Structure 1
């Protein structure tokens, strides 16, 4: 189930991009507080998605994906804030936001499918 899992691949790739953005923000922009928050929330998305795959029950799976979805929303917030405060350029932020939105759509779709199959 881990191999060829689109959600896990996208979240890992996104985490790598955010880690690189964090390094840029620290070194080039000397911004520590918001970038650390971004790093935490963005990397948590993939960690929770991966935990969901190994969940002990369907309810555990759904709970972990809900946490990942919440972290996605928080990540969007930090990206928008970093963009509005000019720490990230529009191009940088929009690229990351696009990836974040794609992950959000997958999470919502997966959660909806799980809920439908439960009824």
Structure 2
């Protein structure tokens, strides 16, 4: 896979994660706590995808590093909120585990991209 294909694949993965998080939230029981957590979760997941797209059209290496740093933070926040939902048993592990796995993989990929960008 060349760099362009990799970038497009990661755009699709981050967008799919955002959509999957939205659909997941739509299925869980709504309480005051899950509404608050769900809002934060949706914001961070959609921000991950949107900011990754912005990073891909950065005008400089410095701008890319800045934007990819935001993406890493938002993806990690998404992971945090999914872990909170798991730890509180507000959602089933069957529903959460695929999201947790994909989010962790995305965090690792993006963290490596940020590290590589910082080394240039």
Match of 1:23 among 4, 23, 26: 26
Match of 1:55 among 38, 44, 58: 58
Match of 1:113 among 100, 105, 116: 116
Which whole-Å deviations, capped at 9, do the CAs of 1:34-56 have from their partners, x for residues lacking one?
11110001111011100001112
- Partner Cα separation in structure 1 for residue 18 and residue 72 of structure 2: 15
Q: Which residue of 1 aligns with 2:81?
A: 78
- Normalization by structure 2: what TM-score? 0.86
Which whole-Å deviations, capped at 9, do the CAs of 1:84-103 have from their partners, x for residues lacking one?
11121112222101000111
Q: Is the 8 A contact 1:53 1:61 kept in 2?
A: yes
List aligned pairs for 1:27-38, cutoff 5 A: 29-30=29-30, 31-38=34-41
- Normalization by structure 1: what TM-score? 0.87
* Secondary structure at 1:71 match in 2: helix
Q: Is the 8 A contact 1:2 1:53 kept in 2?
A: no
Which whole-Å deviations, capped at 9, do the CAs of 1:45-76 have from their partners, x for residues lacking one?
01110000111211111111110100111111
Q: Which residue of 2 aligns with 1:90?
A: 93
- Partner Cα separation in structure 2 for residue 74 and residue 105 of structure 1: 13
* Secondary structure at 2:89 match in 1: coil
Aligned residues: 114
Structure 2 alignment gaps of length 5 or more? none
1:102 equivalenced with 2:110 (yes/no): no
